[in-house]
Structures are given as structure tokens and as C-alpha cells.
Structure 1
Amino acid sequence: MSGPGGAAAAVAAAEQEERERERERGALWAEVRALLPGAEEALSLALSGEVEECVPPLLRRARALLYGAGGPPRGPAAAALRRLGDVLRDYSWEKLNAGPWRDVGKAWRQVYAFGCLFGALARAAGGGPLAPALRLCDLGLLMGAAVLDNVLARLVRVLQAHLPRGPPRPAPAAQKVRVDPPPAPAIQPEDALPHLHCPSLEHFRDNYLIPQKPVVLEGIIDHWPCMKKWSVDYFCQVAGCRTVPVELGSRYTDEEWSQKLMTVSDFINQYIVNENSVGYLAQHQLFDQVFGRKYIRLYSPQDSENLYPHESHLLHNTSQVDVEDPDLIKFPNFRNAASQSCILMPGQVLFIPVKYWHYVRSLDISFSVSFWWS
């Protein structure tokens, strides 16, 4: 048993720990508050269109709670601000999901962003864990529209800097669905894509871009810092807490294909997804391989009919054929489609001309960066 001296020391340590937490909360709120206008009236709630008349009063009430205490909203004020953020998000979420995304008014996306903002600020002020506040910011960035000079993006940087750094928590073994991909197929010389080392812009333009011929470019991204820094562990460290949209499934034409919002760490711990469908884009593409390898097969637009595109407008740029295991009874003309292939290695860049059909399969845990232009 500890004596009076030990008890006093424990109390003093607890008080010191609480003072340190309060100091950290104060420092965080000072950074957060610096992102916002100094006066309540200066925080504009202007929207880009009409919304239902019950919404503006809710926005003004949330703004008043944010500024009313003269300092960070605590206790009942923080709880009320948090509830208002929930109400604004829930109400606008119905509008965001009532029809096609292209028909969603920007004003309702701004309302959703304000709901995320007020909810995140309430959590940041309340002194609790910051991960829920960061998730709200990410949701606002993904589903909302920019408000207050894109304040959510700036708030993310502040919150993330105050999160504890550490390795991602591993997922239970039962949840992991990683499957080793089959080995890389052999590529015959006559089917191999040409390789070109550090061409001039003029040479690339005249011989590949204008004629719309695919080519593997080498040596043009060796100077990128990511070529030395990026890895799975690096992504977990710098972005493991961030919420992102993830496509789950090998082919987006499969019934089990789905989309889900999850953190980068959860995605890495639970899933590795290979893209196995064939499709094309109405833009040129530079496909940059940063780490890992990918097997890629290309088909010319002239072979479109031999690839049996889906008849629906939504999937008209997607082939029905499994190119590595084709059903030649169902798709007999596929045997007439000529392809070019490569195994894209780290540091290599594949130029894919507009409307070229492309099939991609990961051979390792890999990461690529794509650029599109018209």
C-alpha cells in the first residue's frame, strides 16, 4: 500500500497530466480558430442556390454557437453544435442521394459541407479523440462543395498534425481477403509494347501522341521523390487515418462489386484489389508505375467490335470479355482482336492513347499514378 506521500504524488501527476492535456487542447483550438473569420458576421453562410427555408436558420444557429462563448464551445454549447452538425448532414444527405449525382444542386452539397464543418469543430473543441473530426472533414471534402475558401481542406491539415503517429492497427485475420494473383503471363516479342528512354517532347509528340500509338516511357519519373519514399508503410504513416472512397471487387461489372468509404489503413489491412476488366477512356492517359508491377494489355479502338462492348450506355466503354480466359463460343470474334502487352515496372510510364482499350492486373502490391488530358 502506498502512504500519504505516494497518494499526493499520484494526485500531483494526474493534475499535471490534465494541465498538459488542457494546454494541448488550447494550442489545437488556437490553430483551428485561426482558420475562421474573427467575427461571427464575417463567416459567410451564402449558398450557391435555393434550399428549403428551414436550413438557413439552422446554419445561423450553428454559427452563433461557434462564436457565442468567445472561446472554444464547451459543454452544452459543444453538444448543441455537434447535434446541429448531425442534423444538417442528415437532412442534406437525403438530397444528395435522391437521384443522379449530376442533378444534385451545389447548394445542398454546401449545406452538407457546413454540417461536416460544424460537427468537426464541435469535436475539436470538446477535447475528445480527433479521428471522428478528421473523418467528418474527409466526408465533407468527398461529398460536399467547397465553403469558406475550402476551409475543410485547411482544417484537415491542422487536425492531422495533432493526431498521434503510429503503425496501423492490423485487421483480424478473418477479415483479410488478400489473394496471391496468378503469375505474370509470358509476352511474345511480336506483342510487346515498344519502350522509349527519355524522349524529347517533340519526338514523343510527333511519333506517339499525334499518331496515337502507345509506348512505355522510361527514365522520365526517376526524379520524383515518391519513387524513393512511397510504400505501403509510408501510406499508413502519412494518410492511414484519412477516409477515402474504395472500389471493392475485381471487376466493376460483377454483381458483388461495390464502393465503400473507409480509412486508408483499413483498406490496406483488409483488401488488395486487382482491376481485371477491359475498358477505355475518352482522354489520353499517362499511367505511372511507382512501386510494384502491373500486367497491362492494350487493344486498338479499331478492334472495338471484337471486344464486345456492353450494350448499356453506362457500360458502353467496357468489354464483356475476360481477356485472360475468354469464352470464344460466346465471343468468337475476340480471337481476331490484336493486342499489345507489357509488364510495367517501377519507374516506367505507359502512354495510353484516347479510346484505347486497356486491361490491368496487379502482379504485386503496387501503386500507380494516372494523368488524363484531352
Structure 2
Amino acid sequence: MQLNLQDIPRVKTISKADFIQDYFKPQKPVVVEQFIEDWPAFSKWNLDYMAKVAGDKTVPLYDDRPVSHTDGFNEPHTTMKMGDYIDLLKKEPTKYRIFLWNILKEVPILQKDFTYPDFGLKLMKGLPMLFFGGTNSHTFMHYDIDLGNIFHFHFEGKKECILYPQSETKYLYKVPHSLITHESIDFSNPDFEKWPALQKAKGYKTHLKHGEVLYMPEGYWHYMKYISPGFSMSLRAIARNPKNLGKAFYNVLIMRYYDNVMRKIKGQKWIDSKNEKAIVRTNALYDSVR
């Protein structure tokens, strides 16, 4: 048995009008295969180039260890020099990933290698973020705190992407007061006896290669797995749907602070309780609809 996933539509190129009409308005994902050939980044950006221009920078690293009450919200698990990290990526599989690394702030020279494309949405120019990963490293299934429209440009290597719209949240074992599903779920090879509700969830899948861009609509859940070492850059536009915009403000201004306070007060019991609720609530819903 497999997840109920359809292939994300692919186009070679796309006009602004077609993107807005066919994908933004209906809030459907798409992969554009040939959109950044005129960027210097298209020919320059690879792991060796990143080691050259940012090798001495200290970068935050994350892995797939279970969430602990001692962790702050999006707090890195360790740090390393970028040059040493890239050497590690080339040498052997590693769980360590770079997550939300602001290149505008950290390595301004990289700003000259790309432009902000006109998809018909106003992109946030202060937040170009880079993400790196080694072979078989992956993120938890999650959605972004601001529920933004995301344009995910991939460089070097191959990356597996699994997406779900917010409408499928009820089947994904979402952890309360967080942005993730239960961390024990392996979305590359899920155990349906343990996570039966996943059979109901309808989503999308694709594999990204160098130079391709994935559009992820507002609030889409996403799971990313690096088939081989590589990195991506995300550009984003704020949510347009008032409901999603309201959720974004709640997440940023209330939810993350509440969760941090409860971690300090209740410790690991708070984390364990949230994980248990994710299972109980989702399975109860699944039992009521099947």
C-alpha cells in the first residue's frame, strides 16, 4: 500500500497570466522546469561554489532527532563551518541539514546571482532562504509558520517532495500547538497499521532536479528528502487568503510563544502529551469516517 499521491503538474516555462490563472487562483502546486537559465546561479551554484564563497561562515544544523522540551522553537541542534559541512555532505550520508539560512544577511554576494521573478505575486525581498541536506536526510512533514506562497528553487542533486493541502490536515496526525505531523511517521515508507488515517489523505509528489522551481501554495504541508546532496532556495509571498493570513498571525504572535512557555513549565510531559493527542484525535476521526 502506498500514499494517495498524484504527480505534481510540470511545465517547461510559464507566463505570469497562466501561473495566476492555472495555479495561484486554484491554489495548486506546479513545477516549472526551465525558468532560471538566465540567472548566474543556474551555472554557478553548486556545493563547491558555496564552499568557496561561504566556507568560513558558521551555519546552523538540524537533524531528525525527536523534538525535546529543551529545544527552543526552530533552535538548531549544532553548528559547523560551511566548508566543513559541505565536505561532510560529499564524504558520506548525514542527517544534518541547513534550514532557513538567510543568504541576503549571511553572504550578500550571492544576491547578485539571482533576480526576483515576476510570478504576479509580491515576493518578500528580505527573506531569500537556503536549505541544504545530505543523502537521505529529510524534514518532518510541516507547513511554514506564515502559510506563505513558496517558490522553491533547487540546485544540485535530486530531492523528493511530498505535499498536502491544509484540507488534508485532519488525516496527517498533526501535533497540537505546532507546525509538524507526528515525528515518527516516515512519509517515504509509512506504516499504515500504525498510521491508518494516512490512507485517506490526498496529496502530491515530485522529484526536483537542478534549476527546477516548485510552487507550493499557501499553507501546504511539505516533506523534503534529499536523494543526493544538494540545496534549494525559497522565495515567498505572504498569504492572500484571509483565513490563512489569520492563522499566520496567530502562529507568529501567539502559538510559538505559548508552546515555548509550556515546554518550560511542563517539560517533556508537554511534548509527549501533544504527540499522544495527535494520534488519539486523528485515529478517532478516521474511525468515524471509514
Give the TM-score, by structure 2 length. Answer: 0.58
1:259 to 77, 101, 106: 77
Give the TM-score, by structure 1 length. Answer: 0.46
Aligned amino acid, residue 152 of structure 2:
F
Structure 1 position 208, deviation (Å): 0.6
Q: Which residue of 2 aligns with 1:340?
A: 204
Normalized per residue, the structure richer in helix is 1
Structure 1 position 237, deviation (Å): 1.6
Kindly provide the CA deviation profile for residues 182-228 of structure 1, in whole angstroms up to 9, marking residues without a partner as x: xxxx999x721100122110110111112110000121111111121
Query: 2:18 matched to 1:203?
Result: yes
Q: Which residue of 2 aligns with 1:213?
A: 28
How many residues are aligned here? 184
- Once residues 140 and 44 of structure 2 are traced to their aligned partners in structure 1, the CA distance between those partners, rounded to angstroms, is 30
Identity of aligned residues (%): 29
Structure with more relative contact order (C-alpha pairs < 8 Å, separation 6 or more): 2
Query: 2:6 matched to 1:191?
Result: yes
Q: 1:250 to 1:216 in 2, by over 3 A?
A: same
Structure 1 position 307, deviation (Å): 0.2
Q: Which residue of 1 aligns with 2:156?
A: 291
- Once residues 27 and 173 of structure 2 are traced to their aligned partners in structure 1, the CA distance between those partners, rounded to angstroms, is 22
Q: Which residue of 1 aligns with 2:180?
A: 318
Structure 1 position 286, deviation (Å): 0.5
The question of whether the paired residues in 2 share the 8 Å contact of 1:275 and 1:362 is answered with: yes
Kindly provide the CA deviation profile for residues 14-54 of structure 1, in whole angstroms up to 9, marking residues without a partner as x: xxxxxxxxxxxxxxxxxxxxxxxxxxxxxxxxxxxxxxxxx
Kindly provide the CA deviation profile for residues 237-273 of structure 1, in whole angstroms up to 9, marking residues without a partner as x: 22111122222x1356479995223211122233543
1:304 to 142, 146, 169: 169
Consecutive unaligned residues of structure 1, counting only runs of 5 or more, are: 1-185
Q: Which residue of 2 aligns with 1:158?
A: none
Aligned amino acid, residue 86 of structure 2:
I
Structure 1 position 346, deviation (Å): 0.9
Give the 5 Å matches for 1:1-374.
191-247=6-62, 249-250=63-64, 253=67, 258-270=76-88, 272=94, 273=96, 274-281=137-144, 282-311=147-176, 313=177, 315=178, 317-320=179-182, 321-374=185-238
* 3-state SS in 2 of match to 1:278: coil
* 3-state SS in 2 of match to 1:191: strand
Consecutive unaligned residues of structure 2, counting only runs of 5 or more, are: 97-136, 239-290
Normalized per residue, the structure richer in strand is 2
- What's the RMSD between the two structures over aligned residues? 2.5
Q: Which residue of 2 aligns with 1:133?
A: none
- Once residues 235 and 173 of structure 2 are traced to their aligned partners in structure 1, the CA distance between those partners, rounded to angstroms, is 27
Larger Rg: 1
Q: 1:324 to 1:221 in 2, by over 3 A?
A: same
